[in-house]
Amino acid sequence: MKASESTWTKADSKRAERIWQAYRQAHDVSARIGQAVGIDPANGRVWFGKSAQDIFRQRQAEGLHSPFYCLRVGSDFYVRKGGHR
């Protein structure tokens, strides 16, 4: 699915956030601080990589093309946009 065709909703984001919270409760991710994490809200799978592009490639190699939620381990966002004041 192309990004322009995405039907991503706020509910998808909330579902992915719940999956990530449950994953962190069940697994020690402290050694992965700073890595990218991709969460698929449809199937609950979690991928780790150096970047969102790295996770995209991993998913593509598995034949997965659906949108995924991406964060940095240890943060509640992947990258911040905008300048500092």
pLDDT tens per residue across span 13-61: 999 999 999 999 999 999 999 999 999 999 999 999 999 999 999 999 9
Indicate whether 2 belongs to any domain.
no
- Name which residue leads in pLDDT, 75 or 6: 75
Is 36 a domain residue?
Answer: yes
Tell me: pLDDT of 3 over 70. Answer: no
**Structural domains counted in the chain:** 1
The pair of three-digit structure tokens given for residue 22, joined into one six-digit string? 């449950």
Mean pLDDT calculated for residue range 3-21: 86
3-class secondary structure for the chain?
CCHHHCCCCHHHHHHHHHHHHHHHHHCCCHHHCCCEEEECCCCCCEEEECCHHHHHHHHHHCCCCCCCEEEECCCCCCCCCCCCC
In a domain, 12, yes or no: yes
pLDDT given at position 57: 97
Other Cβ atoms within 10 Å of 32 Cβ, number: 14
Tell me, yes or no, whether 66 lies in a domain: yes
- Please report whether residue 83 resides in a domain: no
- Tell me the residue range of the domain where 36 lies: 7-72
Query: Does residue 65 form part of some domain?
Result: yes
According to the model, what pLDDT value does residue 64 have? 94
